[in-house]
Structure 1
């Protein structure tokens, strides 16, 4: 790529041609981000066992390929809530994108749109929803922390709906913040001039968050509502009973409660209980196309990717986000072909070596 066509970070051109995989993006991002920003994105809670287990559990799963199947044409499309996605990878909600790149969520939205991916905007966005919507050519979803101010919460839901967000992801695993030691050591705070317009002055939700509040929110939402942070089959059942449209199996990327199991380990139990009644998404540790394949094989309808998007954003703005998604999509397609699967429907648990 010519020098004048390279993405810019703080006015300086950035060459992404040497980026081969998502781990490369993290290495590049660490050299470009402030220490405070990098620690915020990369760190987990307490001793970070769950952060490591998310990766280790995916790495430990072995694949069981079939050969001599016709994989000359692959169909990676999935449909979620009436919308057809070209591949089952979404941009997970992550906070404060302007600490990673000057254009913040605008660059994320542009990058996700170019890669044909749904972007789930965090309620801790540093860019107003109306501005993000203007640059997004692919659908947006909105992630919500429920506040102690019900009127504020309802107004925010209605704002997200009014600008066209097609689904709401309600984070249900954060009644309090986790013991984020690395984040505390760098005294994390938003830099001067950066603010989160929907944080309402708080970094965590204060309302006593119960199933009753979830029922209340679902009662007036006009778009599908997914509960994000489900790890227990009983909670998955309750989500269905109160009318949730989907669930996201998530341990908050190991950032809240340390020593909970990896999401890929939890997933089969949730899938068994839900029994295809509502879609199940999963996040946590996804770095390779084989990880996506394993999640689909164990019953997820799609996965969400968070930290790698942040590192792609920090490394190359919108282009970094696009390349992150394109690498993961290409690896997923390779993994499908090399295991003898040509469609999403043909990916099942027989793909996992026992």
Structure 2
């Protein structure tokens, strides 16, 4: 399908449109990477270093793109990763949920989300709840119980964050809350993007910077920065703490932020269902290698004892295929679908997922693979020195 007013053909095009359609601070927040951005850049660049070994005959007429992740049947091996407070579009996480449902896939809902988990699960039953180690254990249990009652299909525990907020290029100014003072401060930026403001005005709302899923249903959640502060000053978890948390959740359980094979093995020890090889999209410790460089050593360390997801740097369907060939079960995406939403709301998120679907299908065809299960490292050309994992 050619690009049109309401449809784009690549994630790069979605990013260009997003830059034109949202205020500068909102756009810069979607680009954020810690310190010098070395990990942020490497996440993307590393995929470009990998090649394919295609075939020219006996190519499969039909390709099976389905995958099972955390017990959910998906039409493609791509999940929308949890991202906090989506002030990109009035419908926020609910728009993402509907778009993921229309593409036959799942999403992770951040505990820092701007929409209640009940509304998101209603829009897409294939919703996983994402949690941080935040607050005391009783508060965490109440949070998990609310997610269970809402119908969340699994728990994602995010650990790849070390509170590195420095940005060599400067962090965008983000408000604590939207009030008259904030509106006056950001008015010059918003004035240059009237379409973005119009979307909110038509919905009868302003960007919501509170976090309703951190408190019992119906209560006023803290602001994003209030929640961040509590998280920052909560003592970090031990492996015993994570084992305790695992026992509290009787469904699929994923640890997000694995970059070391030893941590992957410890995840098995506590009964984890799945891990995500992740560096928080380049927002954790800068100079951590790209996740695709680390994936093979982690896959070798755990074998088939748990599911492996990968996030960081995925921009094309061919990137998804490279990750699966090197050991992943599926991938998660963050910036790409946020750019899609900034460009064209719910339809833009769906657009991004369908771009990736088409790219996955084309790569399978050229590699003469009729399903994801047939992919192997032999399909990939890996240059010397590419891997950064421990063996």
Instruction: State the TM-score, normalized to the length of structure 2.
Output: 0.83
For 2:41, the equivalent position in structure 1 comes to 52
Matched position secondary structure for 1:185: coil
Distance in 1 (alpha carbons) for counterparts of 2:36 and 2:53: 33
Distance in 1 (alpha carbons) for counterparts of 2:363 and 2:301: 28
Matched position secondary structure for 2:55: coil
206-215 or 239-248, which deviates more: 206-215
For 1:23, the equivalent position in structure 2 comes to 12
Equivalent runs, 1:173-322 vs 2, <5 Å = 173-174=160-161, 176-181=162-167, 185-192=171-178, 193-199=208-214, 200=222, 201-203=226-228, 204-205=231-232, 206-322=234-350
What's the CA shift for 1:103? 1.3
- Compared with structure 1, are the counterparts of its residues 185 and 306 closer, same or farther at alpha carbon in structure 2 (3 Å cutoff)? closer
Equivalent runs, 1:85-104 vs 2, <5 Å = 85-97=74-86, 99-104=87-92
120-129 or 206-215, which deviates more: 206-215
8 A Cα contact 1:78 1:85, kept in partner: yes
Matched position secondary structure for 2:245: helix
Partner deviation per Cα, 1:254-275 (whole Å, 9 max, x = no partner): 0121100000000000000001
8 A Cα contact 1:43 1:183, kept in partner: no
What's the CA shift for 1:64? 1.1
- Compared with structure 1, are the counterparts of its residues 86 and 31 closer, same or farther at alpha carbon in structure 2 (3 Å cutoff)? same
2:67 counterpart of 1:78: yes
2:142 counterpart of 1:155: yes
Distance in 1 (alpha carbons) for counterparts of 2:378 and 2:176: 47
8 A Cα contact 1:281 1:301, kept in partner: yes
What's the CA shift for 1:184? 5.5
8 A Cα contact 1:180 1:255, kept in partner: no
Partner deviation per Cα, 1:46-93 (whole Å, 9 max, x = no partner): 000111101111000011123312410111111223322111111111
Distance in 2 (alpha carbons) for counterparts of 1:292 and 1:269: 18
Count matched residues: 337
Distance in 2 (alpha carbons) for counterparts of 1:266 and 1:345: 21
8 A Cα contact 2:117 2:213, kept in partner: no
- Compared with structure 1, are the counterparts of its residues 182 and 168 closer, same or farther at alpha carbon in structure 2 (3 Å cutoff)? farther
What's the CA shift for 1:135? 2.1
**1:133 aligns with one of 121, 146, 154:** 121
What's the CA shift for 1:154? 1.0
Distance in 2 (alpha carbons) for counterparts of 1:182 and 1:93: 25
What's the CA shift for 1:130? 1.1
2:123 counterpart of 1:108: no
Partner deviation per Cα, 1:162-193 (whole Å, 9 max, x = no partner): 1111111101122x311342795322235415
Distance in 2 (alpha carbons) for counterparts of 1:30 and 1:68: 42
Gaps of 5+ in 2: 179-207, 215-221, 383-391
Partner deviation per Cα, 1:196-233 (whole Å, 9 max, x = no partner): 12355321342322212101110110211110000000
Distance in 1 (alpha carbons) for counterparts of 2:91 and 2:70: 30
Distance in 1 (alpha carbons) for counterparts of 2:60 and 2:261: 35
8 A Cα contact 1:148 1:208, kept in partner: no
254-263 or 76-85, which deviates more: 76-85
8 A Cα contact 2:32 2:171, kept in partner: no
239-248 or 187-196, which deviates more: 187-196
Distance in 1 (alpha carbons) for counterparts of 2:270 and 2:305: 13
Instruction: State the TM-score, normalized to the length of structure 1.
Output: 0.91
For 2:184, the equivalent position in structure 1 comes to none
Distance in 1 (alpha carbons) for counterparts of 2:137 and 2:73: 33
Distance in 2 (alpha carbons) for counterparts of 1:94 and 1:345: 29
- Compared with structure 1, are the counterparts of its residues 346 and 185 closer, same or farther at alpha carbon in structure 2 (3 Å cutoff)? closer
- Compared with structure 1, are the counterparts of its residues 190 and 333 closer, same or farther at alpha carbon in structure 2 (3 Å cutoff)? farther
Distance in 1 (alpha carbons) for counterparts of 2:169 and 2:163: 12
2:194 counterpart of 1:169: no
- Asked which structure has the greater CA Rg, the reply is 2
Matched position secondary structure for 1:79: strand
- Compared with structure 1, are the counterparts of its residues 107 and 212 closer, same or farther at alpha carbon in structure 2 (3 Å cutoff)? same
